[in-house]
Amino acid sequence: MSTFALVDGNSFYASCERVFRPDLLGRPIIVLSNNDGCVVARSAEAKALGIPAFLPFYQVQQLCHKHRVAVFSSNYALYGDMSRRMMNVLSRFAPQQEIYSIDECFLDVTGIPDLDSHGHRIRQAVWQGLGIPTCVGMGSSKTLAKLANHVAKKRPEWNGVFEWDWLTPREADRLLAEFAVGEVWGIGRRIAHKLTQMNIHSALDLKQADPRHIKRKFNVVMERTVAELNGAPCLALEDVAPAKQQIISSRSFSRLVRNLPALSASISHHVARAAEKLRAQGCVAGLLGVSIRTNPFRELGQYHGYTCVPLIHPSADTLLLNHAAQAALRAIWRPEFSYHKAGIILMDIGTPAIQQRDLFSPLPDPKRAKLMAAIDKLNRNFGSGTVKLGAEGLSEDWRMRQDKKSPCYTTRVDEVARVK
DNA sequence: TCTGGGGTCCTAGGACCC
DNA sequence: TCTGGGGTCCTAGGACCC
């Protein structure tokens, strides 16, 4: 029988900030999303103040001020680098690792003796190596490991490590009954609501539901969740990330943007970002979509322009993709609107092996692939943005609001922490 | 003064064709 | 005159996650 572990960093972004600001020990910390829009991470102290996740920041600003909450803009260069280090440490504790998100990974701990002390060694290693607190949840399916991680996090008596097999089946069911069905992995707000109407309220209710009935009412994915709750693993550990089927890069502006050149520069920027991801997974895209929209929270003049263009030769070449994107942008741009958000999406993604020849257009220049590889290498080694398209522009006026960003302590020499 | 994230996959429904 | 099925492709919107 297999055993999965889910390890995640507690309040990861907030913890990353605290590593470099020991003066904030014991103080509530929150981290905001891009553009300082919503609260995306909260330290334990901030949660205790009752600050909910994903609320627009301005709605809790007063509260934060009153309780001297340390507020940070998100610093993805820092979190990404800390994540890489954490995953590196964790990889030593299992033969297989699946990096699931920036702050969590699954480990295959099947057959490892004494999972209790193994779990504590994992926590200890990350704490010593990075100063980030973690929790470890273990179970015979990924869904159970996820839920075990909740137990480890919420029940202090387990000291941050929990495995379902430590309980008798009766005790395990009693614990499952204490979790609302919406806390199960894959059950969001809508499905939780529908389940509640079917008189399925807790994780235990869902575990004991008739899988055929669930499949009929929902789909095969939900049926799998029921099986996973019963300890039958349906989801394998994916140690190599499957290639993405679509890649999106989009962002809202710090203020409304009216003129075409600024929109055009932002689209170029998104193309460069998405194409870099596309090349990183060794694929080409056959379809590119461009989207620009007004602010949906405003009253007047709503417009969402979207169009997608097929590419004659599927490509991962930033310049070619950008050429198509700019044409698409010109097609959807309406001068009478002010825009709030712009983005691009790459679709029809596949490997470059199969390439349709087009009779009337020349084949892509092979030298360009080398150019792209060189750009990627420079940006990897010297920080993203070292080399970029001229079309992305030098002006930053449309870029994000990040009033409270911490230094890039670990990725920029001029911003390393100083000890006085 | 005004403030509202970003990314991925899935699916229902429409358009079109035979 | 009006009706009939089934498949494919595309897209907007839904749902989930962190």
CB of A58 within 7 Å of some strand C atom: no
- Tell me how far CA of residue A221 lies from CA of A181, A187, A191, A210, in angstroms: 15, 10, 12, 14
Distance CA A79, CA A410 (A): 9
For chain B, which bases have at least one atom within 7 A of a protein Cβ?
Answer: 2-12
C1' nearest to CA of A59: which nucleotide? B3
Number of residues that make up chain A: 420
CB of A197 within 7 Å of some strand C atom: no
Q: What is the pLDDT along chain A (420 residues), one digit of tens a residue?
A: 899 999 999 999 999 999 999 999 999 999 999 889 999 999 999 999 999 998 999 999 999 999 999 999 999 999 999 999 999 999 999 999 999 999 999 999 999 999 999 999 999 999 999 999 999 999 999 999 999 999 999 999 999 999 999 999 999 999 999 999 999 999 999 999 999 999 999 999 999 999 888 988 888 889 999 999 999 999 999 888 889 999 999 999 988 898 899 999 999 999 999 999 999 999 999 999 999 999 888 877 789 999 989 988 899 999 999 999 999 999 999 999 999 999 999 999 988 865 555 555 556 677 888 888 888 888 777 777 777 777 777 555 566 778 889 998 888 888 887 777
Closest CA to C10 C1' — which residue? Answer: A308
- Tell me how far CA of residue A354 lies from CA of A288, A349, A365, A407, in angstroms: 18, 12, 17, 45
Which two structure tokens, joined as six digits, stand for A345?
């999406």
Distance CA A279, CA A53 (A): 34
C1' nearest to CA of A253: which nucleotide? B5
Domains of chain A from N-terminus onward: 4-163 (3.30.70.270), 169-230 (1.10.150.20), 247-354+362-393 (3.30.1490.100)
CB of A187 within 7 Å of some strand C atom: yes
Pairing relationship of beta strands A29-32 and A70-72 according to DSSP bridges: parallel
Distance CA A92, CA A107 (A): 10
Q: What is the DSSP secondary structure assignment for residue A38, as one 8-state letter?
A: B
Helices assigned H by DSSP within A169-259: 169-176, 189-197, 203-207, 211-217, 220-229
- Tell me how far CA of residue A62 lies from CA of A6, A66, A67, A181, A387, in angstroms: 36, 6, 9, 33, 41
Distance CA A11, CA A76 (A): 14
CB of A185 within 7 Å of some strand C atom: yes
pTM score, whole prediction: 0.91
CB of A104 within 7 Å of some strand C atom: yes
CB of A101 within 7 Å of some strand C atom: yes
CB of A296 within 7 Å of some strand C atom: no
CB of A192 within 7 Å of some strand C atom: yes
Q: What is the DSSP secondary structure assignment for residue A405, as one 8-state letter?
A: P
Which two structure tokens, joined as six digits, stand for A287?
């379809």
